[in-house]
């Protein structure tokens, strides 16, 4: 298996990957316009940027391990915040030993490249890679920790660097008024109030500054090809302060709003300053990628705790950010339909190494310039040799595990672990199997999802989320009789949600009764039910029936609720194309593909619109993507054939038409 590194005149000498947990363009864009994030603004202007879609479920330990490995959770093995201890003695926080496949730094170690890694989620204990790794247990988590407290045992590889790196940490007590006032201008008055959050702000700022200081210390060494840094600050600030971000939420008091309204803008500006410092250190021969695992609701769609929706995951928006610049990165480019699963294949390509065929993501070719994209190898897992992973049987110190669990409880990610070990293990395993089922369903593997769902405890299966997950899988498999039983079970348990009506309408449509499906969904609309899924599905049904104006209205209603709905944008592109407005169809189709690369119908609409507008070469490019994604779709093949004829490739067009069953 050939995995030799490919050198290119345009390739970077090294790559920096900065993970900003929960960073969101919806927050960044106004700050860029106001001149408050000049570094990221300049990075975008001289590089490529766009949305990065997340995967489901939107849980940080799952997502950051998917980002680092390019693999889905059923492969990397991290399924939640906690896991049963392998020896049967309770529950522990997920760790570096939880990951079953190679991360980027393991692949690079095996390839003879040197990596530095700082704070990556679930990286404790630090792995013995070729380079330096500082695990995610780097902060001052205990109140008794003084400024000179050592880093936890096992948090640094090689261990002899622990003392040097410990000196880089920032203690919460070092966060003084000068650091606090940009976030809380009236801090002197706020600290007099009972239950104030100034102490939490100090703690979060100290943790963020510590991550930055450690990464800068390692970046200044000139012996690495890859630097990966995970910044948790924006996400943790969001959980603490996003409810106070303008505009004021109804349940937030005016005093609290005035006290903390600047905190979220402040942490974004702080990240911009840290980025500036990093760019000055790494130099012009380094490609720098800034990305996030998901976004964060920040407007009228923020969850209201009075409606029972205020858990940490409820705040997560499905689109993160991607911005890259430097050697090998296209200048003034836009990213179309990027996914967090694309990060590892793209970083490997920038470093002259091949991605693997068992990585479901793509190389973000539109973000690259002058870099050779190697043919994929079957799998990096199959290659023998030292890669710096821990043996799976490695023991984790119980005290460290307890401290990690206490931190997860404090953040609200998990409930306190009871003293009944057997019960805790059973509930944890059940929760992780539920997350696995969710991941399989999102990946288009409903059979595997149902297999995992069968291993979930009955109490969790019978929750609304559980029943809806099961029903969506049954629908995907066409098991309509079983779906009817599942719907009856939902209704019998008192579940009355719009999704039940959507499921019934889907049965009607699947059985050839689209008009009944439309009537059913219209009744929900008349009853005052609103939802992106409802309006988009109604639009799709009306589009199939040729009711173009009605479908257009439905898609616009969906977009009024969620302007970044790829399905609604795709549907609107098709409607506008059929109404004879190719320019509008192109606009909406491009917006859809920028959000979801797999939006096949949008690629088709873009291609067809470009062909009508006289750009046959562009049409061929878009329609090739469409046909690659849906090789059996006859309309896609015929449109591609028409575009090929328009650029003089009649023989290829004829072959495609023959494959589609067209006979002269």
- Tell me the pLDDT tens digit for each residue of 268-281: 999 999 999 999 99
Q: 42: part of which helix (H) or strand (E)?
A: helix 38-45
> In sequence order, what are the residues at sequence separation of 6 or more whose Cβ sits closer than 8 angstroms to the Cβ of residue 114?
108, 130, 131, 223, 224, 225, 226
> In sequence order, what are the residues at sequence separation of 6 or more whose Cβ sits closer than 8 angstroms to the Cβ of residue 23?
234, 268, 271, 290, 291, 292, 295, 320, 321
Q: What's the DSSP call for residue 406?
A: H
Q: What is the mean pLDDT of the chain?
A: 92
Say what the pTM is: 0.92
The whole-number pLDDT of residue 251 equals: 93
pLDDT above 90 covers what percent of the chain?
Answer: 78
Residue 158: cis peptide before it, omega within 30 degrees of 0: yes
What mean pLDDT is predicted for residues 121-127? 94
Inter-CA distances, 104 with 22, 92, 325, 341, Å: 21, 25, 20, 12
Least confident of 139-153, 354-368, 537-551, 594-608: 139-153
Q: Where are the alpha helices (DSSP H) in 385-497?
A: 398-411, 421-442, 446-453, 458-461, 464-476, 480-492
Spatial distance between the Cα atoms of 63 and 66, rounded to a whole number of angstroms: 5
What mean pLDDT is predicted for residues 376-384? 94
| 9-41: burial string, b at 16+ Cβ within 10 Å, e else | eebbebbbbbbbbbbbbbbbeebbeeebbebbb
Q: Does domain 564-664 have CATH number 1.25.40.10?
A: yes
What mean pLDDT is predicted for residues 544-555? 96
> In sequence order, what are the residues at sequence separation of 6 or more whose Cβ sits closer than 8 angstroms to the Cβ of residue 4?
none
Q: Report CA dihedral (649, 651, 652, 654) to the nearest 10 degrees.
A: 120
Spatial distance between the Cα atoms of 408 and 473, rounded to a whole number of angstroms: 31
Q: Residue 120's CB: how many other CB atoms inside 10 A?
A: 26
pLDDT tens for 247-297 read 999 999 999 999 999 999 999 999 999 999 999 999 999 999 999 999 999
pLDDT above 70 covers what percent of the chain?
Answer: 94
Pairing type for strands 226-231 and 14-20 reads parallel
> In sequence order, what are the residues at sequence separation of 6 or more whose Cβ sits closer than 8 angstroms to the Cβ of residue 487?
471, 500, 503, 504
At residue 333, φ and ψ (nearest 5 deg) are -105, 165
Q: Which two tokens stand for residue 73?
A: 């959770």
For the chain, the first-to-last Cα distance in angstroms comes to 46
Pairing type for strands 226-231 and 131-134 reads unpaired
Spatial distance between the Cα atoms of 487 and 467, rounded to a whole number of angstroms: 8
At residue 211, φ and ψ (nearest 5 deg) are -55, -45
Spatial distance between the Cα atoms of 260 and 246, rounded to a whole number of angstroms: 10
- Closest to 363 (Cα-Cα) out of 332, 331, 333, 339: 339
Spatial distance between the Cα atoms of 388 and 96, rounded to a whole number of angstroms: 11
pLDDT tens for 174-230 read 999 999 999 999 999 999 999 999 999 999 999 999 999 999 999 998 789 999 999
Inter-CA distances, 96 with 93, 106, 124, 135, 212, Å: 10, 12, 5, 9, 21
pLDDT tens for 454-504 read 999 999 999 989 999 999 999 999 999 999 999 998 888 777 778 888 999
Contact in structure between 93 and 81 (CB atoms under 8 Å) = yes
Spatial distance between the Cα atoms of 193 and 184, rounded to a whole number of angstroms: 13
Of the ranges 6-10, 348-352, 522-526, which is most confident? 348-352
Chain centroid, CA 302 distance in Å: 18
Q: Where are the alpha helices (DSSP H) in 562-615?
A: 566-578, 582-595, 600-612
- Closest to 242 (Cα-Cα) out of 320, 332, 327, 304: 304
Residue with the bigger pLDDT between 11 and 34: it is 34
For the chain, how big is the Rg over CA atoms in Å? 26
Contact in structure between 542 and 509 (CB atoms under 8 Å) = no
Spatial distance between the Cα atoms of 229 and 103, rounded to a whole number of angstroms: 14
Mapped onto helix, strand or coil, the DSSP state of residue 41 is helix
Specify the CATH superfamily of domain 14-403.
Alkaline Phosphatase, subunit A (3.40.720.10)
């Amino acid at each position: 298996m050939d995995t030799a590194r490919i050198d290119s005149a345009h390739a970077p000498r090294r790559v920096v990957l900065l993970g900003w947990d929960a960073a969101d363009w919806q927050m960044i864009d106004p700050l860029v316009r106001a001149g408050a994030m000049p570094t990221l603004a300049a990075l975008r202007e001289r590089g490529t940027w766009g949305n990065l879609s997340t995967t489901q479920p939107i849980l940080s330990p799952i997502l950051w391990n998917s980002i680092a490995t390019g693999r889905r959770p059923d492969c990397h093995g991290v399924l939640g915040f906690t896991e049963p201890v392998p020896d049967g003695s309770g529950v522990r926080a997920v760790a570096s030993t939880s990951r079953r496949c190679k991360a980027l730094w393991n692949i690079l170690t095996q390839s003879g490249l040197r990596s530095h890694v700082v704070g990556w989620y679930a990286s404790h204990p630090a792995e013995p890679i070729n380079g330096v790794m500082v695990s995610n247990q780097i902060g001052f988590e205990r109140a008794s920790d003084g400024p000179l407290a050592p880093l936890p045992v096992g948090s640094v590889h090689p261990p002899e660097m622990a003392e040097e790196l410990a000196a880089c940490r920032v203690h919460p007590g070092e966060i003084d008024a000068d650091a606090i006032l940009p976030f809380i201008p009236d801090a002197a008055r706020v600290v007099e109030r009972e239950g104030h959050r100034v102490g939490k702000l100090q703690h979060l700022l100290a943790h963020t500054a510590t991550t930055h200081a450690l990464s800068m210390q390692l970046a200044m060494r000139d012996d690495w090809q890859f630097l990966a840094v995970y910044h948790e600050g924006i996400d943790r600030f969001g959980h603490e302060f996003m409810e106070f971000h303008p505009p004021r939420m109804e349940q937030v008091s005016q005093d609290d709003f005035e006290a903390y309204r600047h905190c979220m803008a402040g942490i974004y500006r702080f990240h911009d300053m840290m980025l500036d410092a990093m760019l000055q250190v790494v130099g012009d021969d380094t490609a720098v990628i800034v990305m996030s695992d998901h976004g964060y609701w920040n407007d009228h769609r923020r969850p209201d705790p009075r409606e029972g929706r205020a858990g940490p995951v409820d705040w997560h928006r499905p689109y993160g950010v991607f911005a890259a610049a430097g050697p090998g990165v296209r200048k003034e480019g836009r990213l179309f339909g990027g996914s967090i699963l694309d990060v590892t294949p793209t970083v490997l390509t920038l470093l002259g190494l091949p991605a693997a065929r068992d990585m479901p993501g793509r190389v973000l070719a539109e973000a690259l310039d002058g870099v050779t994209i190697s043919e994929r190898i079957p799998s990096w897992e199959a290659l023998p040799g030292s890669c710096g992973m821990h043996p799976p049987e490695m023991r984790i110190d119980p005290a460290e595990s307890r401290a990690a669990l206490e931190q997860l409880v404090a953040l609200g990610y998990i409930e306190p672990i009871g003293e009944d070990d057997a019960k805790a293990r059973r509930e944890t395993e059940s929760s992780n199997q539920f997350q696995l089922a969710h991941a399989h369903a999102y990946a288009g593997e409903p059979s595997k999802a149902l297999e995992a769902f069968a291993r979930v405890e009955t109490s969790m299966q019978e929750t609304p989320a559980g029943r809806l997950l099961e029903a969506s899988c049954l629908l995907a498999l066409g098991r309509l009789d079983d779906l009817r039983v599942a719907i009856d079970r939902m209704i019998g348990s008192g579940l009355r949600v719009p999704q039940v009506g959507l499921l019934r309408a889907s049965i009607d449509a699947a059985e050839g009764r689209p008009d009944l499906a439309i009537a059913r969904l219209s009744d929900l609309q008349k009853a005052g039910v609103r939802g992106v899924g409802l309006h988009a599905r109604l639009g799709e049904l009306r589009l199939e029936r040729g009711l173009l104006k009605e479908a257009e209205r439905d898609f616009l209603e969906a977009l009024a609720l969620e302007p970044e709905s790829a399905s609604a944008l795709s549907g609107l592109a098709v409607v506008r194309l059929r109404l004879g407005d190719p320019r509008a169809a192109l606009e909406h189709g491009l917006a859809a593909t920028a959000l979801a690369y797999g939006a096949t119908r949008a690629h088709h609409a873009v291609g067809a619109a470009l062909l009508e507008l006289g750009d046959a070469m562009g049409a061929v490019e878009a329609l090739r993507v469409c046909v690659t994604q849906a090789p059996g779709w006859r309309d896609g093949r015929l449109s591609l054939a028409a575009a090929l004829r328009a650029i003089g490739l009649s023989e290829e067009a004829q072959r495609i038409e023959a494959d589609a069953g067209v006979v002269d």
